[in-house]
A and B are shown apart, each in its own frame.
Chain A
Amino acid sequence: MATNEQATATAVDDGDRPVVELDNVEIVYDRHFLAVQGVSLSASEGDIVALLGPNGAGKSTILKMISGIGRSERGEVTRGRVFLRGEDVTNDGANEMVERGITHILEGRRVFEDLTVEENLRCGLYRQGRRFQFDEDDYQIAFEYFPQLEDIMDLKAGYASGGQQQMLVIARALIHRPNLLLLDEPSLGLAPKLVRDIFETLVEINEREDITMLIADQNAKRTLEIADYGYVMENGQIELHDPADVLVEREEIKEFYLGTSSEDSRYTDIRHYKIRKRWT
């Protein structure tokens, strides 16, 4: 079965080949702790794909296994495969994934607090240790989308506001020049106005820089507004998936994530929406 699937993946034309593709993936942490089970998802070139679901559903785990950072936390893909443009990258380390053009923006605005904003951006220039020197032009792409950062270059990043820190981590990732950007909870703890601004900027980046994005967020409404396709996770499994405009209209989503339905029901009621296996 596995070989069959691989054959299909390699047979596909370069243009149609998804940037990232998970095939029936199971992720186990610490050899015992089953975090994610039977997840299949894919993101095509230039898409924004939303990964939705409550806390602990396994969204971050999936992003971490794609970027390879999960390996350093003793996570492992024990079943299924991860493909990047058709290449099997299952269980590869973070360094290898960075080299392939993946940048992961971790949850919780992880700026380097002791470093200034400028030094934070400078760290984005580091790729496999080849860079030593830098000049101001390297920051241009950051200022293009986040002009506010230019005014606070000498500020210690730890003292920047939440919004500025979120902009900073996205800007730092942009300087890193990825072709696939993984964003973990970019809206967490930010004022609605800021979330709107940042998501608008993400769309702009997606369109102009041709960066495919996979966004894990609890803010389903906002994320589906900018996404092309959406997956809804629950307890380590994908419960629903559809194009974003279809997903946003589905009753279950309205009820449980958007809160627009008046009817009172429990999530367990929609358990029968099992994922169709996309590979068969």
Chain B
Amino acid sequence: MVNWVTLIDISLSGLGLGALYALVAMGFSLIYKVTGVLNFAQGQIAMVGAYGVVIFGTATVLPAAIPAWAAVLVTVLLGVVLGLALERVVFRQFIGEPVLSVIIVTLALGSILEGVIFFLYGQNAQAYPEALTFGGQLSLPLGTSIQAAYAVAVAIALVVVAVLMLFFRRTVTGSILRASASDEQAAMVLGVSIERTIALAWTLSIAITAIGGILLATSSGGAAVSIENTGIIIFAAVVLGGLDSIPGAFIGSIVVGVLQELGSYYLVGGTAVYVPFTDIQANFGAGFGEILPLVLLLVVILVKPYGLFGTERIERL
């Protein structure tokens, strides 16, 4: 018999994980929607964000640490700067170039960022400053509970998502960003500078991806190399949501988060799973939860290549 409290517990933490993924996924969709670039360095950017707080907030690399909140602020600001710099120095050169070359560039960028982190910290996880670790559990109704660190991260993630949505829906600049993604030329005749729009998209994207990385780290107590894997997991999320849909990226992330948590709990090694209505017993190795989103990715690409909310393009051969 299913233990309902556990199921709700796991689902809740899945929803939370999804909300964290959502930031990285929305960063990905934003770039794709506005510039058409598939940024395969999202995972590494999130990881750099996560380690940024370690770099500034602890005395591991720098001679002295700055307060934790300042470290977060500096990291996010550096994310903004990195976004501007990448657009200006790298990606602007590739406007109008084949998609493949841009993809290769993002892969290279990912490797470079990864190399920097490995150079500084090796492959070891790094604990976060005291002020950013929240112990204890929060009790929720029905006897379920959620880790405090997790709850804080999820709450912040949801606030960022809400602010982002308001920006896109309720401001002139946000509307213009969506408009340029929908019809570049028609936006240009309204006075929109495409360069500025693209720069804004990169800045926003990298900033929220960095925030996503930081929150993923806080929710698990510190920065770890495994955050890098987010890059491929959120790919499953955005493909499910439809590559160019920002709300789609959010919903896709939630689905993927829940799937991953349920999978990790119910399908881990040693847990015998009975296939329904049969006596067949299945055993899965550890870490199977993280595979589920990728299985989903495969199914979505086969069944519904444009995802749930993506724009269907008719391509003539």
Task: Give residues of chain B (201-234) contacting chain A, Cβ–Cβ below 8 Å.
Answer: none
Tell me if B186 counts as interface (CB < 8 A to partner A). yes
Is B191 a contact of A128 with CB atoms below 8 Å?
yes
Q: Mark A91-104, 1 if CB is under 8 A from B, else 0.
A: 00011001100011
Contacts of A131 in B (CB 8 A): 172-173
Cα A110 to Cα B187 with chains together (Å): 9
Residue B283 lies at the interface, judged by CB distance under 8 Å to chain A: no
Stretch of A3-11, A17-25, A119-127, A226-234 on the interface side? A119-127
Chain A residues with Cβ below 8 Å from B172 are: 122-123, 125-126, 131-134
A69 to B190, CA, bound (A): 11
The answer to whether B193 touches A69 (Cβ under 8 A) is no
Contact status A112-B193, CB under 8 Å: no
How far is the CB of B143 from the nearest CB of chain A, in Å? Answer: 43
Partner of B189, one of A67, A119, A125, A128: A67
On chain B, the residues within 8 Å of A115 by CB distance are 175, 178-179, 182
B190 pairs with A106, CB closer than 8 A:
no
Name A's interface SS: loop
Interface residues of B in 134-190 (CB under 8 A from A): 169, 171-173, 175-176, 178-179, 182-183, 185-190
Q: How far is the CA of A98 from the CA of B173 in the complex (A)?
A: 17
A261 near B: Cβ within 8 Å?
Answer: no
Within A4-50, which residues are at the interface with B (CB < 8 Å)? none
Closest to A94 in B: B188
Q: A122-B172, A132-B172, A133-B171 are in contact. Are A110 and B183 (CB under 8 A)?
A: yes
Residue of A nearest to B171 (CB): A132
Query: Quick check: A95 and B187 within 8 Å, CB to CB?
Result: no
Alpha-carbon separation in the docked complex, A204 to B16 (Å): 56
Q: How far is the CB of A254 from chain B (nearest CB, A)?
A: 34
Contact A112 to B173, CB < 8 A, known contacts A103-B190, A123-B190? no
A-B contact count (CB 8 A): 83
Judged by a CB distance under 8 angstroms, whether A113 is at the interface is: yes
Residues of B within 8 A of A265 (CB): none
Given contacts A69-B185, A112-B183, A133-B171, contact A119 B190 (CB under 8 A): no
A172 located at the interface, meaning its Cβ lies under 8 Å from any Cβ of chain B in the complex: yes
Q: In whole Å, how far is A206's beta carbon from the nearest beta carbon of chain B?
A: 19
B185 adjacent to A106 (CB under 8 Å):
yes
- Residues in B with CB closer than 8 Å to A67 are 189
Do A129 and B186 touch (CB < 8 A)? Answer: no
Q: Which residues of A contact B173 (CB under 8 A)?
A: 126, 129, 131-132
Partner of B193 from A119, A122, A129 at Cβ < 8 Å: A129
Closest to B195 in A: A95
Question: Beyond A115-B179, A122-B175, A131-B172, is A98–B185 a contact (Cβ under 8 Å)?
Answer: no
Contact present for A94 and B182 (CB under 8 Å): no
Q: Does A150 contact B (CB under 8 A)?
A: no
Contact A106 B178 (CB under 8 A): no
Decide yes or no whether A114 CB sits under 8 A from chain B: yes
**Residues in B56-87 with C-beta less than 8 Å from chain A:** none
Is there an interface contact between A119 and B185, defined as CB atoms closer than 8 Å?
Answer: no
Which of A95, A111, A113, A132 sits near B191, CB closer than 8 Å? Answer: A95
Contact with B along A43-68 (1 / 0, CB 8 A): 00000000000000000000000010
Bound CA–CA A112/B311 (angstroms): 13
Q: In the complex the two chains form, is A119's CB within 8 Å of B188's CB?
A: no
B88 at the binding interface (Cβ < 8 Å): no
Q: Is A140 an interface residue (CB 8 A)?
A: no
**Pairwise interchain contact A69-B175, C-beta atoms closer than 8 A:** no
Contact status B175-A172, CB under 8 Å = no
CA distance A119 to B180 in the complex (A): 12
B196 at the interface (CB under 8 A from A): yes
Do A119 and B175 touch across chains, with their CB atoms under 8 A apart?
yes
Task: Report the nearest A residue to B181, measured CB to CB.
Answer: A114
Chain B hits for A69, CB < 8 A: 185, 188-189
Interface centre among B173, B178, B191 (most CB of A within 10 A): B191
A176 adjacent to chain B (CB < 8 Å): yes
Closest Cβ neighbor of A121 among chain B residues = B175
C-alpha gap A124/B178 in the complex (Å): 13
**What's the minimum C-beta distance from B5 to chain A, rounded to whole angstroms?**
42
Contact across chains for A112 and B186 when beta carbons are under 8 A apart: yes
Q: Mark A127-152, 1 if CB is under 8 A from B, else 0.
A: 11101111000000000000000000
Q: List 24 A-B contacts (CB under 8 A).
A: A69-B188, A72-B185, A94-B191, A95-B193, A98-B189, A98-B191, A103-B190, A104-B189, A106-B189, A110-B185, A111-B186, A112-B187, A114-B182, A119-B169, A119-B178, A120-B179, A123-B175, A123-B176, A125-B172, A126-B173, A133-B171, A134-B172, A172-B190, A176-B191
Report which B residues bind A (CB closer than 8 A).
169, 171-173, 175-176, 178-179, 182-183, 185-194, 196, 311
Query: Which residues in A have some Cβ–Cβ distance to B below 8 Å?
Result: 67, 69, 72, 94-95, 98-99, 103-106, 110-115, 119-120, 122-129, 131-134, 172, 176
